[in-house]
Amino acid sequence: MPESFYNTSLSLLTDLYQITMAYGYWKSGTAGKESVFNLYFRKHPFQGGFTVACGLSAVIDYLTAFSFADDDLHYLRTLTGTDGRPLFEPGFLDYLKNLRFSGDIDAVPEGTVVFPNEPLVRVRGPILQCQLLETPLLTLVNFQSLIATKAARMRLAAGSDTLLEFGLRRAQGIDGGLTASRAAYIGGCDATSNVLAGKLYGIPVRGTHAHSWVMSFADELESFRVYADVLPNNVTLLVDTYDTIQGVKNAIEAGKVLRSKGYQLSAIRLDSGDLAYLSIEARRLLDEAGFPETSIVGSNDLDEYLVTSLKHQGAKITIWGIGTKLVTAYDQPALGGVYKLAAIRNPSGAWEYKLKLSEQAIKISTPGLQQVRRFYDEHGFISDMIYNEETPPAGATTMIDPYDFTRQRHFSETTPYVDLLEPIFRKGQLVAGQPSIHAVRNRVQHQLAQLHPGIKRFTNPHAYPVGLEQQLHQLKTDLILQLRRQ
């Protein structure tokens, strides 16, 4: 089953300035300088306490297919500078023709819970190549991680209820719709209404029917009977087109006919009005009529807050259809992931560490060949410590809060840990297996189960501790002081 759309050449899917910088490296003879970039974000979306990493599968497809096709080069040849003369020399375009990704990628597996400032993807290789990858990698990881996180929040709200993703009609175009369906499934949805996503990614597809079906008949009961007749093994009836309580009664009548033919009324759907009140009334009517197995689907501009509220109100909904607020990440439509240079190998062969200064401490980048060490105990994850692989912690270790050096945590050499970034590419060759989308989805739930409930709450969540290993903290501090002195 093809898992992606990204396995054709998409090397022009980048910002022009990446290609002009690549040209600059080529022209100045520095294209091959070995460098390290980290992709990370600074703040959780939705004022939450966790983020779900997602999008690596698309990154792998993108990099595997990475090359400039003849028509890409032809297009680049047509580009001109402000004076109308060609932007790029032909020699550069010849160089691009033979360019393939030849570097190393280390990344956090999809479905891992991650925290601010931790590298999700680390790219190491010739600087020209690393530079070209900034925009596509951010495009592929930011959106999917955002939607997977939103879906994980919906899953937390819904508990063990069924979550259906209904968002395609409101999604940000074709790729937005497809990748949102994929990420929503990974984050915890059970199925999607998006049939192409079902085909491409192997996600279960589910659906009910629209108001137009009911409206196309002279009366509602007739519409239900015909629907149940033609699709007897997939009957969820939308009951709110005219009068919801009467709609439930009509669904029960259609359900009786279905039952006489050996089928079940699977569910009814409520899509307007007071979903708590109406679902409680509908449940009562269904139970009294002998349909305790018939479920109630709720939909209508739902999000994780409304699902939580409706459950508190005792709503009898056990299947939630969620579209717009999920696939558009309505309350925060972007994850602010960034991609920063962290080291360049100088001519003597030593790493020269790099850092971006800022007046805002949160925007100062971290140097180094970063790896994330996640400590855990029998209750779950304790803390994440970012360290430089060139100076790995040996034995007992101290982690320092980068925004308040007086806040420190000490770990003995026996504290169990796992290093999060795994080798994905080595010298341009894919070295990692790709888990199935179902395994990634399971990983999300497994990971969330390791987080303290305070980190998962929607309001003022507890901050999971992330810090720098002491040698890396020192390196960063020294670099900041050195740059400020300059």
Ligand X SMILES: O=P(O)(O)OC[C@H]1O[C@H](OP(=O)(O)OP(=O)(O)O)[C@H](O)[C@@H]1O
What are the DSSP calls for 366-394, one per residue? --SSEEEEEEEETTEEEEEEEEETTS---
Which tokens is 99 given?
């360019």
Tokens 């479920």, residue located: 295
212 binds ligand ATP (CB under 6 A): no
Q: How far is the CB of 279 from ligand ATP (least distance, A)?
A: 9
Question: Which phi and psi (to 5°) does residue 27 adopt?
Answer: -70, -35
* Residue 170, binding choice from ligand NIO, ligand X, ligand ATP, none, Cβ under 5 to 8 Å by partner class: ligand X
Tokens 């999971």, residue located: 464
Which residues within the stretch 151-210 sit at the binding site for ligand NIO (CB under 6 A)? 166, 193, 207-208
Task: Using the minimum distance from each CB to ligand NIO, give the nearer residue, 112 or 266.
Answer: 266
Please tell me the count of residues contacting ligand NIO according to CB under 6 A: 6
Task: Using the minimum distance from each CB to ligand ATP, give the nearer residue, 155 or 354.
Answer: 155
Q: Do 136 and 14 touch, CB atoms closer than 8 A?
A: yes
Q: Which of 272, 308, 415, 442 binds ligand ATP (CB under 6 A)?
A: 272
Binding site for ligand X (CB under 6 A): 166, 169-170, 271, 299-302, 321-325
Q: Which of 130, 276, 335, 382 binds ligand ATP (CB under 6 A)?
A: 276
Q: Which of 348, 354, 418 is nearest to 130 (CA)?
A: 354
Cβ-Cβ contacts under 8 Å for 258 (sequence gap 6 or more)? 228, 232, 235, 264, 265
* Residue 208, binding choice from ligand X, ligand NIO, ligand ATP, none, Cβ under 5 to 8 Å by partner class: ligand NIO
Residue 464 to residue 462: CA distance in whole angstroms: 6
Which residues within the stretch 398-427 sit at the binding site for ligand ATP (CB under 6 A)? none
DSSP state of 108: P
- Looking only at the bridges linking them, the beta strands covering 162-165 and 191-192 are parallel
Residue 455 to residue 208: CA distance in whole angstroms: 35
* Neighbouring-strand partners of residue 345: 351
Among the residue ranges 89-97, 126-134, 244-252, 274-282, the one whose residues contact ligand ATP (CB under 6 A)? 274-282
Which residues within the stretch 307-336 sit at the binding site for ligand ATP (CB under 6 A)? 309-310, 313
152-179 in b/e form (b: 16+ CB < 10 A) is bbbbbbbeebbbbbbbbebbeeeebbbb
* Residue 322, binding choice from ligand ATP, ligand X, ligand NIO, none, Cβ under 5 to 8 Å by partner class: ligand X
CA-to-CA separations, 69 to 12, 63, 164, in angstroms, rounded: 10, 14, 39
Q: Which of 116, 198, 273, 428 binds ligand ATP (CB under 6 A)?
A: 273
Tell me how crowded residue 233 is: count the other CB atoms within 10 A of its CB: 8
Task: Using the minimum distance from each CB to ligand X, give the nearer residue, 166 or 339.
Answer: 166
Give the per-residue contact string, 216-255, with ligand ATP (x = CB under 6 A; - = no). Answer: ----------------------------------------
Task: Using the minimum distance from each CB to ligand ATP, give the nearer residue, 232 or 273.
Answer: 273
Which residues within the stretch 294-323 sit at the binding site for ligand NIO (CB under 6 A)? 321, 323
Task: Using the minimum distance from each CB to ligand NIO, give the nearer residue, 119 or 323.
Answer: 323
Task: Using the minimum distance from each CB to ligand ATP, give the nearer residue, 299 or 383.
Answer: 299
Q: Which of 302, 343, 355, 466 binds ligand ATP (CB under 6 A)?
A: 302
Please tell me the count of residues contacting ligand ATP according to CB under 6 A: 12
User: Measured over all CA atoms, what is the biggest interatomic distance in the chain, rounded to whole angstroms?
Assistant: 85
Task: Using the minimum distance from each CB to ligand NIO, give the nearer residue, 140 or 270.
Answer: 270
- Helix or strand holding residue 480 (H, E): helix 470-485
Q: How far is the CB of 433 from ligand ATP (least distance, A)?
A: 42
Cβ-Cβ contacts under 8 Å for 475 (sequence gap 6 or more)? 353, 367, 368, 388, 391
Cβ-Cβ contacts under 8 Å for 366 (sequence gap 6 or more)? 38, 117, 342, 355, 386, 402, 468, 472, 476
Q: How far is the CB of 283 from ligand NIO (least distance, A)?
A: 19
Among the residue ranges 180-188, 301-309, 356-364, 444-452, the one whose residues contact ligand ATP (CB under 6 A)? 301-309
Task: Using the minimum distance from each CB to ligand NIO, give the nearer residue, 95 or 217.
Answer: 217
Task: Using the minimum distance from each CB to ligand X, give the nearer residue, 275 or 385.
Answer: 275
Interface residues with ligand ATP (CB under 6 A) are 272-276, 300-302, 306, 309-310, 313
Interface residues with ligand NIO (CB under 6 A) are 166, 193, 207-208, 321, 323
